[in-house]
């Protein structure tokens, strides 16, 4: 039975950390290593986290250099065969997610798995639906990216291909995505798991990061994500990425 490590980063998230914790501890899969990386919160976040300490393998609370430094710390502390992320305020889609991910890795010769996600409002209504297409390297140059927290990776790949970069603002996950899904894609087995993995909450850290990337001042940062990897940035990248965002709204409407 493979061990799945799940990393949650948080900082002053007392109002939304509980739903994230419960979405992980209520999973039916028994071999989960849950790691919390807290940035030395000053509110009640750690008090809530400690309510679930019997279900958490490691709680690391210390100042860090930001979002991606915290993620790297959590991944480096992991000992599982496979690693995934879920940020404070977001939730695993249902209680069978991790069981299905473990089964997927056991039954497929795959290094990297990704799935679908949905963005919901405070009432739980779907506002955006990120239903990812089957993997194709060329789609990356056309602005496609699956929801980052729907991606699960064999742990050893981080040492071989690299962790998260901290010099690209809130786009460190996109820089990492380009590195794995494009630069090194020919060396990796990447496959879609045809199931929903994550629910994002509107207004959470994840959706704030997505919104910031659409601002004009951050367009150069998206290009820098390619340059960091020694690659030529695609033409009109922000507009291509906007197409995929618009597609999410359309798919959400069609689901109703």
d(CA 198, CA 71): 17
Query: Residue ranges per domain, the chain?
Result: 4-255
**Statement: residue 245 has pLDDT above 60:** yes
Q: How much is the pTM?
A: 0.93
4-255 CATH pick, 3.90.550.10, 3.30.420.40, 3.40.50.10490, 3.40.50.720? 3.90.550.10
Return the exposure string of 24-46: e unless at least 16 CB atoms fall within 10 Å of the residue's CB, then b: beebebeebbbbbbbbebeeebb
In the chain, pLDDT over 70 holds for what percent of residues? 94
> What's the pLDDT score for residue 220?
87
> What's the pLDDT score for residue 100?
98
**Statement: residue 194 has pLDDT above 80:** yes
* DSSP letter (8 states) at residue 111: S
- Cross-strand bridge partners of residue 32: 4
> What's the pLDDT score for residue 27?
98
Mean pLDDT for all residues in the chain = 93
pLDDT digits (tens, 9 = 90+) for 114-156: 999 999 998 889 999 999 999 999 999 999 999 999 999 999 9
Summarize the confidence of residues 52-60 as an average pLDDT.
98
> What's the pLDDT score for residue 144?
97
Q: What angle do CA 205, 208, 210 make, to 5 degrees?
A: 115
Return the exposure string of 75-98: e unless at least 16 CB atoms fall within 10 Å of the residue's CB, then b: bebbebbbbbbbbbbbbbbeeebb
Least confident of 36-50, 209-223, 230-244: 209-223
> What's the pLDDT score for residue 215?
52
Q: What angle do CA 178, 184, 158 make, to 5 degrees?
A: 85
């Amino acid at each position: 039975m493979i061990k799945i490590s799940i990393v949650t980063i948080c900082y002053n998230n007392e109002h939304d950390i509980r739903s994230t914790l419960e979405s992980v501890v209520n999973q039916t899969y028994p071999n989960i290593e849950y790691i919390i990386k807290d940035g030395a919160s000053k509110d009640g976040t750690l008090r809530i986290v400690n309510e679930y300490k019997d279900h958490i393998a490691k709680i690391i609370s210390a100042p860090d250099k930001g979002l991606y430094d915290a993620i790297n710390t959590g991944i480096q502390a992991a000992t599982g065969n496979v690693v995934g992320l879920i940020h404070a305020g977001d939730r695993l889609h249902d209680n069978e997610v991790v069981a299905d991910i473990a089964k997927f890795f056991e039954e497929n010769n795959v290094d990297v798995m990704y799935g679908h996600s949905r963005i919901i409002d405070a009432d739980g209504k779907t506002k955006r639906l990120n239903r990812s297409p089957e993997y194709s390297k060329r789609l990356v140059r056309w602005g496609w990216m699956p929801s980052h927290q729907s991606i699960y990776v064999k742990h050893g790949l981080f040492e071989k291909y690299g962790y998260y970069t901290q010099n690209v603002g809130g786009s460190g996950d996109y820089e990492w995505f380009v590195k794995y899904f494009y630069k090194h894609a020919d060396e990796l087995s990447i496959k879609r798991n045809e199931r929903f993995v994550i629910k994002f909450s509107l207004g959470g850290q994840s959706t704030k990061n997505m919104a910031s990337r659409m601002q004009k001042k951050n367009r150069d940062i998206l290009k820098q994500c390619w340059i960091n990897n020694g690659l030529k940035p695609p033409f009109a990248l922000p507009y291509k990425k906007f197409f995929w965002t618009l597609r999410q709204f359309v798919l959400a409407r069609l689901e109703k």
